[in-house]
């Protein structure tokens, strides 16, 4: 009687390379320095600083208004403007300006979805499994789900602002949960922009490298927080979006 032969040993799943994040950070830093070498980015930043600061208080109003407008349009350059706020205004002022502008834009989109844009937003949400699970989770846990979604970049910022308007969450809960939960990401990316702005100054190469490295570390930290938030969202029964909701996101604001 033939003996049964043992099958090949199970291969354990490979874990991510432990230095992957550090390597990625190093690549980003090197890429930024290369970018500054090949393009006149330092000159552009200095020209932007001079122009905006020359506008005085009006400069803050212009920047905030443009930021809000960009955040209401799916695919708008809000992320780039967050970096620009840090480069032009620095960490403290840039964070305040972006925080106020982003929460204002989020609130306006929320209110538009409950008013003028309701039918268009409903078409986007119609039959979307992610929105259905998000809506059910908010019915149970309210502001906590809003905060977790804000911490997770898996959900497109502009689209989810409008979709939140269709959920039963109260305006006050939505506003404060969004404002508080968006602060870590805002702080990290404004700091990154501020670091880019600082490298145009008279600091030594080592000081510039340290500032950029710290900025990259701040962004990596927000990614780590986002992964924790994503797990919590899944635990709450919310499905991760599998792609851009249909019909196209631009249908929210287009006629």
Query: 50 or 117: which carries more pLDDT confidence?
Result: 117
In a domain, 149, yes or no: yes
Mean pLDDT of 219-226: 61
In a domain, 180, yes or no: yes
Write out the residue range of the structural domain in which residue 127 sits: 39-252
Tell me the average pLDDT of the chain.
Answer: 73
The answer for 76, left when phi > 0, alpha when psi is -120 to 50, beta otherwise, is beta
Query: 41 or 193: which carries more pLDDT confidence?
Result: 193
In a domain, 86, yes or no: yes
Mean pLDDT of 46-71: 84
Q: What is the pLDDT of residues 135-168, one digit of tens each?
A: 788 888 788 888 888 887 667 788 889 989 988 8
In a domain, 57, yes or no: yes
Domains in the chain, number: 1
Q: What is the pLDDT of residues 168-180, one digit of tens each?
A: 889 999 999 999 9
The answer for 56, left when phi > 0, alpha when psi is -120 to 50, beta otherwise, is left
Residue 10: pLDDT band (50, 70, 90) is: very low
Mean pLDDT of 175-194: 89
Mean pLDDT of 10-32: 53
In a domain, 62, yes or no: yes
In a domain, 242, yes or no: yes
In a domain, 124, yes or no: yes
Nearest CA to 143 out of 111, 182, 165, 173 is that of 173
Residue 73's pLDDT is what?
87
In a domain, 3, yes or no: no
pTM strictly above 0.85: no
């Amino acid at each position: 009687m033939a003996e049964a032969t043992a099958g090949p040993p199970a291969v354990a799943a490979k874990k991510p390379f432990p230095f992957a994040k550090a390597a990625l950070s190093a690549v980003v830093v090197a890429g930024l320095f290369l970018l500054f070498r090949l393009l006149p980015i330092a000159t552009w930043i200095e020209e932007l600083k001079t122009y905006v600061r020359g506008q005085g208080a009006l400069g803050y109003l212009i920047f905030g208004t443009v930021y809000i407008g960009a955040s209401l349009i799916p695919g708008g350059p809000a992320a780039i403007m967050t970096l620009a706020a840090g480069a032009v205004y620095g960490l403290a002022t840039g964070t305040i300006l972006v925080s106020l502008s982003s929460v204002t834009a989020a609130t306006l989109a929320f209110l538009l979805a409950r008013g003028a844009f309701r039918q268009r937003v409903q078409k986007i949400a119609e039959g979307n499994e992610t929105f259905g699970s998000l809506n059910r989770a908010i019915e149970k846990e309210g502001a906590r789900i809003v905060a977790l979604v804000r911490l997770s970049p898996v959900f497109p910022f502009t689209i989810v602002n409008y979709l939140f308007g269709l959920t039963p969450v109260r305006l006050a809960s939505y506003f404060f949960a969004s404002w508080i939960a968006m602060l870590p990401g805002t702080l990290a990316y404004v700091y990154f922009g501020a670091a880019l702005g600082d490298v145009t100054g008279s600091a030594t190469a080592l000081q510039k490298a340290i500032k950029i490295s710290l900025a990259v570390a701040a962004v990596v930290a927000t990614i780590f927080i986002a992964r924790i938030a994503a797990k919590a969202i899944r635990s709450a029964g919310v499905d991760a979006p599998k792609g851009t909701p249909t019909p196209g996101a631009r249908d929210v604001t287009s006629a």
